[in-house]
Amino acid sequence: MAELTINDIIKEENLVYKKTKVMTDNVMHYCPGCGHGTTHRLVAEVIEELGIQDKTIGVTPVGCSVLMYNYLDIDMQEAAHGRAPAIATAIKRVMPDKFVFTYQGDGDLAAIGTAETIHSCNRGENITIIFVNNGIYGMTGGQMAPTTLAGMKAVTCPRGRDVNTMGYPLHITELIAQLPNVRFVTRQSVHTPANVRKAKAAIRKAFENQKDGKG
């Protein structure tokens, strides 16, 4: 049999994976290798699989992912720093049939917006919060954040976080998991293919919980 060339394989009928249509063709502004791109794509793939592109409203935070509305072809709303869960609560209560999610980094969700996060979870709002934690204030130059791990080095703690003077890292995921009104909390990573698949399953489950009205 004649040897297959690459051009024989690259045909529309042999396609197994390509970028989802819910994402736009804009080039992302993130640094090379940043997990935001992967997470954006996972959200977009879940939205496409559930067929809710015209029923989804996203709330973007302040931080690197503030420009998320450039990359996802859905309705988006920009919130004040840390207040995305409050905006999402309002949107969901006004339009209960829409799927509402917030997409927040740790500086937004676990630092300035801790109160909004905890109270919206405590009220059991029927929204999905996607929390992207890198343990550092990456956008402003790598300063120590409340979520920075003990011993982790940052620009403002070059010898590593000392828990005696700087306190312990805020594990907001574990904190929220204690609340009785919270339906589904999980911690995932996107650095290997297996973990990306797990993270996608988690995002999908979160959206399905919202569909069932379980929060």
Partner 1 sequence: MAKIRGAVKVDTEKCKGCSVCLGACPMGVLDLAKEVNGKGYNYCYMKDPEKCIGCASCAIVCPDGVISVYKVKVD
Residues that bind partner 1 (CB under 8 A): 1, 4, 6, 8-11, 14-20, 23, 27-28, 30-38, 41, 190-193, 196-197
- Give the integer Cα–Cα distance in Å for 88 and 123: 13
Q: How far is the CB of 47 from partner 1 (least distance, A)?
A: 14
How far is residue 30 CA from its own chain's centroid? 14
Task: Please calculate the CA angle 80-82-104 and round it to the nearest 5 degrees.
Answer: 110
Task: Measure the CA–CA gap between 211 and 92, rounded to whole angstroms.
Answer: 12
- How near is the Cβ of 142 to partner 1 at its closest, in Å? 18
Residue whose CB is less far from partner 1, 18 or 159: 18
Q: How far is the CB of 128 from partner 1 (least distance, A)?
A: 21
Pick between residue 32 and residue 158 the one whose CB is nearest to partner 1.
Answer: 32
Which conformational region is residue 167 in: left (phi greater than 0), alpha (psi within -120 to 50 degrees), or beta? left
Give me the least distance between CB of 37 and partner 1, in Å please. 3
What sign has the CA pseudo-torsion 41, 176, 153, 140? positive
Task: Specify the residue, 191 or 211, whose C-beta has the smaller distance to partner 1.
Answer: 191
